[in-house]
Amino acid sequence: MRIVILTGAGVSAESGLGTFRDKDGLWTRYDLAEVATPEGFARDPAKVHDFYNARRANAQSATHNAAHAALCRLQASAHDVMLVTQNVDSLHEQAGSRDVVHMHGALSGALCARCGDRWTAPLAMSPTDLCPSCAAPATRPDIVWFGEMPYHMDAIHAALLDADLFVAIGTSGTVYPAAGFVDIADGAGADTLELNLEPSEARSAFADARYGPASEIVPAWVD
Ligand code: BJW
């Protein structure tokens, strides 16, 4: 069976990494226009670096949970699985997953806004860091902000059109284009399943759903 999995912040919540839109989520404490847009970065790069430096430090001390481990087992099964994540942490990789498609980038990456070079991010980035290729002081986290094109969209789109099953796990279904994947897969004839703590905004688009903490419902579904 060809399966496309889409994970969101809910899959890492039980690893201690905050979600965005839950009642104590990141967007209740930070203004997303200030820290997650190219315009916010242009206005105050130090503030944006502080935000991502803190999250990078949190993510580095986090440990994957039973949901990440179950998805790794699914990848090792006979099924053909594309694991797409909106998360910028590396907990799928820490659990052993390979070829994870990071559509919103990764905290572990640095990007030169001038020449486009990419390299491994240091634990703490600053506006005075120079690009190792072009020496411009234009380094930024390799993260997809609002208004920017998510990564690997052609490969994801092709997999959705070819999928037998699409499963969204721990995502609120509010951020596009990821929120539209269920409609693409459904339109191409795939079965669709939502696994979440509670019904998301996109619940009605899914044929089936199971609710509870990811660390319980994902292993129960996989095994
Ligand atoms: C649990 C749990 C537990 C809790 N167990 N579950 C229509 C079409 C296309 C685009 C748009 C459109 N309308 C608007 C747009 C633009 C915009 C957008 O979608 N805005 C919406 C807010 C309306 N989209 C974009 O700008 C995207 N780019 C784009 O569209 O480019 C097109 C383009 C065209 C032409 C020129 C240029 C571009 C880019 C989006 C980038 C998103 N970036 C962020 C921040 C960066 C990454 C980071 O810092 O980490 O990505 S925003 C934030 O939201 C982050 C996440 O990846 C993303 C999704 O959040 P997620 O993962 O769903 O988390 P939550 O908190 O929302 O939900 C958590 C869920 O878990 C909840 O349901 C809980 O119940 C559940 N949960 N605990 C299981 N234990």
In the chain, where does the domain assigned CATH 3.40.50.1220 lie? 1-16+62-104+149-223
Average pLDDT, the chain: 97
Q: Under CATH, which number does the domain 18-56+106-143 receive?
A: 3.30.1600.10
Q: How far apart are CA 185 and CA 28, in angstroms?
A: 32
Residue 21 Cβ contacting ligand 1 at under 6 Å: yes
Provide Rg for the chain, Cα atoms: 17
Q: What percent of the chain has pLDDT over 90?
A: 99
- Going by CA atoms, what residue is nearest to atom 56 of ligand 1? 86
CB atoms within 10 A of CB 35: 21
Identify the bridge partners of residue 166 per DSSP, sorted by sequence position.
4, 192
> Residue 155: which pLDDT band, with cuts at 50, 70 and 90?
very high
Report the pLDDT value the prediction gives residue 186, as an integer from 0 to 100: 98
Q: Would you call 83 helix, strand, or coil by DSSP? A: strand
Q: How far apart are CA 165 and CA 156, in angstroms?
A: 13
Residue 13 Cβ contacting ligand 1 at under 6 Å: yes
List C-alpha distances in Å: 207 to 52, 168, 172. 36, 12, 16
- The yes-or-no verdict on residue 124 having pLDDT over 90 is yes
List C-alpha distances in Å: 73 to 3, 66, 108, 118, 223. 13, 10, 24, 30, 9
Q: Residue 102 catalytic?
A: no
Element (H, E) at 110: strand 105-112
Mean pLDDT within 116-135 = 96
Report the pLDDT value the prediction gives residue 103, as an integer from 0 to 100: 98
CATH T-level topology, domain 1-16+62-104+149-223: Rossmann fold (3.40.50)
Report the pLDDT value the prediction gives residue 199, as an integer from 0 to 100: 97
Q: What percent of the chain has pLDDT over 70?
A: 100
In this predicted model, what pLDDT tens digit does every residue of 81-122 receive, in sequence order? 999 999 999 999 999 999 999 999 999 999 999 999 999 999
In this predicted model, what pLDDT tens digit does every residue of 181-209 receive, in sequence order? 999 999 999 999 999 999 999 999 999 99
In the chain, where does the domain assigned CATH 3.30.1600.10 lie? 18-56+106-143
Report the pLDDT value the prediction gives residue 135, as an integer from 0 to 100: 97
pTM tops 0.95, yes or no? yes
Q: How far apart are CA 146 and CA 215, in angstroms?
A: 29
What separation in Å is there between the alpha carbon of 175 and the centre of ligand 1?
3
Q: Residue 167: name the closest of 50, 56, 83, 75 by CA.
A: 83
Choose which residue among 20, 100, 111 to substitute to test ligand 1 binding: the one with the highest number of ligand atoms within 8 A of its C-beta.
Answer: 20
Element (H, E) at 26: helix 26-29
Report the pLDDT value the prediction gives residue 193, as an integer from 0 to 100: 98
Report the pLDDT value the prediction gives residue 78, as an integer from 0 to 100: 83
In this predicted model, what pLDDT tens digit does every residue of 19-43 receive, in sequence order? 999 999 999 999 999 999 999 999 9
Report the pLDDT value the prediction gives residue 188, as an integer from 0 to 100: 98
Residue 146 Cβ contacting ligand 1 at under 6 Å: yes
Cβ within 8 Å of residue 1, ≥6 positions away: 79, 80, 164, 165
Choose which residue among 176, 183, 195, 218 to substitute to test ligand 1 binding: the one with the highest number of ligand atoms within 8 A of its C-beta.
Answer: 176
For the chain, the first-to-last Cα distance in angstroms comes to 15
- Going by CA atoms, what residue is nearest to atom 59 of ligand 1? 175
Report the pLDDT value the prediction gives residue 204, as an integer from 0 to 100: 96
- Tell me the residue type at 32: L
Catalytic, out of 49, 64, 92, 104:
104
